[in-house]
Amino acid sequence: MSPAVESFWQALAAHGERPALQEGECRLSYRQLLDEVDVRAGYLRRAAVRRLALDLDNGIEWALWDLAALRAGVVCVPLPGFFSAEQQRHVLDSAGVDTLIAADLSRHTGLGFEPLAGQVAQRRPARVAELPAGTLKITYTSGTTGRPKGVCLDADLQLRVASSLWQSCGPSGIERHLCVLPLAVLLENVAGLHAQLLGGALVELAPMARVGLEGASRFDLPRFLETLRRSRPSSLILLPQLLLAWVTALESGQPLADSLRFVAVGGGRVAPQLLERAEALGLPVFEGYGLSECASVVCLNSPGQRRIGSVGRPLPHLELRLADDGEVEVRGARMLGYLGEPAPRGDWLGTGDLGHFEDEFLVLRGRKKHQFVTAFGRNVNPEWVEAELLQQAPIAQAWLYGEALPANVAVLQPRSAGIDDEALAQAVARVNAGLPDYARVHRWLRAEQPFGVANGLATANGRLCRAALLEHYRTAIERVLSTPVP
């Protein structure tokens, strides 16, 4: 057992009878939590579980099974509910999952799983990919392509991140953390659940719909506000779009919960103007930055060390530097490798993000590749979606954009002038039917003219000039997003 893992269990035991987890009227103390974890860990050992997938909504059971896998040394594979059925199948098969715990096992029929007891099913997977030594969690990226990558992590790194986070936010006086994001997302799993338990806070859990977040891009603001009123949490983790909706509601007169001490926001670009609006309202909002390959958070603003416009200072367990081209590189916090790919070489991990430092605060200025991050924190590779659109007969050219936006917008050039908007709409609907909701074309507009060399919107070999397209269509995109959906 690594020192970080041993310290984690010792810390939980030291919290004794303090409340640890709550879901509705059900509450477990830290002592009861450890007892329940030991029972489930024993079950996993007796059932000879090697790789466990969790397909559960946020709740106490998710937390207990996640911790039981850690206790038993079983590889845990969270299954994001916002993945498409095809992506979920890819996760189960590529990770070689032999045991599945699901709220609805019927959603996974045809994959060879046989019910074992209650919500548990087992199978003998057709292939079992070899994992890097020490892997105890495989977290899948949110799907920049149709086949998201599995990031292999050991327990030591996850818990070192949790410890660093508690050092940064714990002094704010956090006593009650409300999980708003899915626990299947590493950010809430590590920065929410593990970090807060390490510090002895009460972690409140509720089904996602009850909190107000459904899928990857649907947010029920009134339900979220009601949950805040009832729960009175000390801390939250939010995505930029959720913060924007909340700030707008507060500016219109909604009351501010005076219990809040630390609201972390990350998972995508946060406009400095939004953070300034939050500050003016008295919201204790702190922007951070991270990536799955580093077990979530890498930098974080904190009380006394905060600069709006930056993503904060590096956490104490790692180092950052800038490559010659400005790419942010990390040392001391890296994955064991991508599932099915050679182990990474060298001490420094390239993030793909470009940035610079201002008085030790990291300021990001974009990505090296075309991938964008929506306002709901989901990574999307536009080339994936564009390729799907171009499979449709009515569409000759397609460009997708969604950086920091609440909806993905496509600009479509039809194959002929005779193709009407209805034909384009039907083509978009056919493509959307096979995509997860975060990657779908939520709004679209007809191109003014073909993308080509003459207008600077494409190269001679047909490659899109994305910066030029954004400059040309920025106003049209803003207009279509401000227009109510019919």
- Per residue in 220-275, pLDDT (tens digit) is 999 999 999 999 999 999 988 899 889 999 999 999 989 999 999 988 778 888 89
Which tokens go with 266?
Answer: 């990350």
pLDDT at 110 exceeding the cut of 70: yes
pLDDT at 74 exceeding the cut of 80: yes
Dist CA 188 CA 474 (whole Å): 33
Dist CA 243 CA 245 (whole Å): 6
* Domain limits for position 195: 3-367
Prediction pTM value: 0.84
pLDDT at 394: 95
Any domain includes 136: yes
How many Cα atoms occupy the beta-carbon half-sphere of 245 within 13 Å? 19
pLDDT at 231: 96
Using alpha carbons, select from 183, 150, 188, 219 the residue that is nearest to residue 438: 219
Dist CA 122 CA 315 (whole Å): 39
Contacts of 279 (CB under 8 A, 6+ apart): 285, 308
pLDDT at 224: 96
Using alpha carbons, select from 66, 58, 297 the residue that is nearest to residue 163: 297
Mean pLDDT of 386-390: 88
pLDDT band at residue 284 under the 50/70/90 scheme: very high
Q: Which of 367, 393, 428 is the last residue of a domain?
A: 367
Task: Clarify whether residues 259 and 402 are in a common domain.
Answer: no
Q: Which of 304, 332, 367 is the last residue of a domain?
A: 367
Q: How many domains, the chain?
A: 2
Q: Which of 313, 337, 367 is the last residue of a domain?
A: 367
pLDDT at 143 exceeding the cut of 60: no
Task: Clarify whether residues 297 and 319 are in a common domain.
Answer: yes
pLDDT tens for 146-185 read 578 999 999 999 999 999 999 998 889 999 999 999 999 9
Any domain includes 297: yes
How many Cα atoms occupy the beta-carbon half-sphere of 34 within 13 Å? 16
Q: How big, in percent rounded to 5, are the helix, strand and coil portions of the chain?
A: 35, 25, 40
Average per-residue pLDDT for the chain: 93
pLDDT at 388: 87
Which tokens go with 352?
Answer: 């793909």
For residue 435, the Cα-to-chain-centroid distance in whole angstroms is 17
pLDDT at 486: 66
Higher local confidence (pLDDT), 34 or 393 = 34
pLDDT at 216: 61
What percent of the chain has a predicted confidence (pLDDT) above 90? 78
Q: Which residues on adjacent β-strands are paired with residue 409?
A: 401, 443
Task: Clarify whether residues 103 and 27 are in a common domain.
Answer: yes
Task: Clarify whether residues 394 and 361 are in a common domain.
Answer: no
pLDDT at 353 exceeding the cut of 80: yes
Question: What does each C-alpha distance from 475 to 12, 297, 481 come to in angstroms?
Answer: 53, 34, 10
pLDDT band at residue 360 under the 50/70/90 scheme: very high
pLDDT band at residue 84 under the 50/70/90 scheme: confident
pLDDT at 317: 96
Taking the alpha carbons of 271, 273, 278, 282 in that order, is the dihedral positive or negative? positive
pLDDT band at residue 217 under the 50/70/90 scheme: low
Any domain includes 372: no
Any domain includes 49: yes
Task: Clarify whether residues 129 and 253 are in a common domain.
Answer: yes
Dist CA 432 CA 273 (whole Å): 33
Reported as type and span, the H/E element at residue 124 is none
